[in-house]
């Protein structure tokens, strides 16, 4: 059985990039009977950079509500908040003793973030990938959908898990335990990276205040405006060419992801059309896709009691899976029961 785990940070307003690059794929996977999937709102990761408490709370609810609004099947899959399942922090501590400081210092995200937050290079920023390893290993995840920026963290997760399994080989054998499952990266189908509409060389980001970011909560007018202004080029030709026509290719990628088309199919559809038409059609497709989701989101976010109930159920399911793993690890390591 394939087991998928994904973590999503409640650290900003959700963007079209989050939806097309992650949520839409996750919703599909949540309905697949051959896959068991876990979606974790990683609030403990978010605090490695300063968060306003009120916003953190609101955004944690919002991430969950967007998943639900987009149609996540919470009977087949598990949607939960990381801090609701204590095993995450507990396993992270245990695994931190199997992670070298040098490995953590080599992580590109750590280097980037410590550049950007020079006044707050806290220990959590460094040990962030250990907590991520715990997220993954607690659920016996076989597949972790990651973008390019998270591949290095998954590689570290694998190294730590293998190291643990090797170090306690004898104990595991004696206890008839197989140890950690070693996860593989899963590269999402299409539009794995939705780029900024103004700066198509940058990933569309929830933290960047760019006119090229489309938020899931944007009105149709705002969405149309953002697409109308999207950067293209002087080729006057709708072609899939990331190197030479990054803006146009990004728009095509968005269109493909929304409509479920291949690049060739999308290119064929716009043959001979001008950029004005092209951008308008992409904008319309995005608006039509988001409208029903936005309506459901608006209802869900108003009903915190209902969200609390759904998240409590998710936490209970997650805890049932995660707790035995942390117990196994402690037993193997020699902690008294």
CB of 78 to ligand TRP, least distance (A): 13
CB of 234 to ligand TRP, least distance (A): 35
Q: Are 130 and 186 in contact (CB under 8 A)?
A: no
The only residue of 3, 4, 5, 43 in contact with ligand TRP, by rule CB under 6 A: 5
Where does this chain touch ligand TRP (CB under 6 A) — which range of 118-126, 128-136, 220-228, 258-266? Answer: 128-136
Helix residue ranges per DSSP H, 260-303: 263-269, 275-302
**How would you list the strands of the sheet with 78-81, edge to edge?**
78-81, 35-41, 2-8, 143-145, 184-186
Is 203 labeled as catalytic in the residue annotation? yes
The structure tokens listed for 251 are 């728009």
d(C-alpha 182, C-alpha 207), whole Å: 32
Nearest to 191 by CA among 249, 122, 231: 249
140 is an interface residue for ligand TRP by CB under 6 A:
no
The residue whose Cβ lies closest to ligand TRP is 7
- Catalytic, out of 203, 225, 259, 313: 203
Where does this chain touch ligand TRP (CB under 6 A) — which range of 1-9, 56-64, 293-301, 309-317? Answer: 1-9
d(C-alpha 139, C-alpha 37), whole Å: 9
d(C-alpha 221, C-alpha 206), whole Å: 19
**DSSP helix/strand/coil, 186:** strand
CB of 236 to ligand TRP, least distance (A): 37
Per-residue contact flags (x/-) with ligand TRP for residues 264 to 293, judged by CB under 6 A: ------------------------------
Per-residue contact flags (x/-) with ligand TRP for residues 9 to 48, judged by CB under 6 A: x--------------------------------x--x---
Q: Are 24 and 39 in contact (CB under 8 A)?
A: no
Phi, psi at residue 143, to the nearest 5°?
A: -135, 130
Pick out residues in 144-163 that bind ligand TRP (CB under 6 A): 144, 146, 150, 153
CB of 15 to ligand TRP, least distance (A): 13
Query: Burial of 280 by CB count in 10 Å (0-12 exposed, 13-18 middle, 19+ buried)?
Result: middle
CB of 50 to ligand TRP, least distance (A): 16
Residues in touch with ligand TRP (CB under 6 A):
5-7, 9, 42, 45, 132, 135-136, 144, 146, 150, 153
């Amino acid at each position: 059985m394939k087991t998928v785990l994904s973590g999503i940070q409640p650290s900003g307003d959700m963007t079209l990039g989050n939806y097309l690059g992650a949520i839409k794929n996750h919703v599909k996977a949540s309905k697949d009977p051959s896959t068991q999937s876990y979606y974790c709102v990683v609030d403990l990761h978010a605090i490695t950079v300063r968060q306003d408490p009120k916003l953190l709370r609101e955004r944690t609810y919002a991430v969950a509500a967007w998943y639900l609004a987009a149609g996540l099947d919470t009977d087949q899959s598990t949607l939960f908040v990381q801090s609701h399942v204590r095993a995450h922090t507990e396993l992270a501590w245990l695994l931190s003793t199997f992670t070298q400081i040098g490995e953590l210092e080599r992580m590109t995200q750590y280097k980037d973030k410590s550049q950007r937050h020079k006044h707050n290079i806290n220990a959590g920023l460094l040990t962030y990938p250990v907590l991520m390893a715990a997220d993954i290993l607690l659920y016996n995840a076989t597949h972790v959908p990651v973008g390019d920026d998270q591949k290095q963290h998954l590689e570290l997760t694998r190294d730590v898990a293998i190291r643990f399994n090797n170090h306690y080989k004898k104990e595991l054998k004696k206890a008839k335990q197989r140890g950690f499952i070693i996860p593989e990266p899963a590269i999402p189908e299409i539009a794995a990276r939705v780029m900024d509409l103004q700066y198509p060389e940058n990933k569309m980001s929830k933290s960047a205040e760019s006119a090229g970011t489309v938020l899931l909560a944007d009105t149709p007018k705002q969405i149309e405006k953002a697409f109308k202004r999207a950067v293209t080029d002087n080729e006057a030709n709708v072609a899939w060419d990331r190197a030479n026509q990054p803006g146009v290719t990004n728009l095509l990628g968005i269109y493909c992801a929304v409509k479920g088309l291949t690049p060739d199919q999308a290119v064929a559809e716009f043959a001979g059309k001008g950029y004005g038409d092209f951008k308008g059609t992409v904008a319309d497709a995005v608006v039509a896709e988001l409208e029903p989701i936005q309506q459901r989101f608006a209802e869900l976010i108003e009903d915190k009691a209902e969200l609390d109930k759904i998240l409590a159920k998710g936490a209970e399911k997650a805890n049932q899976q995660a707790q035995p793993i942390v117990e196994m690890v402690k037993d193997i390591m020699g902690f008294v029961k």
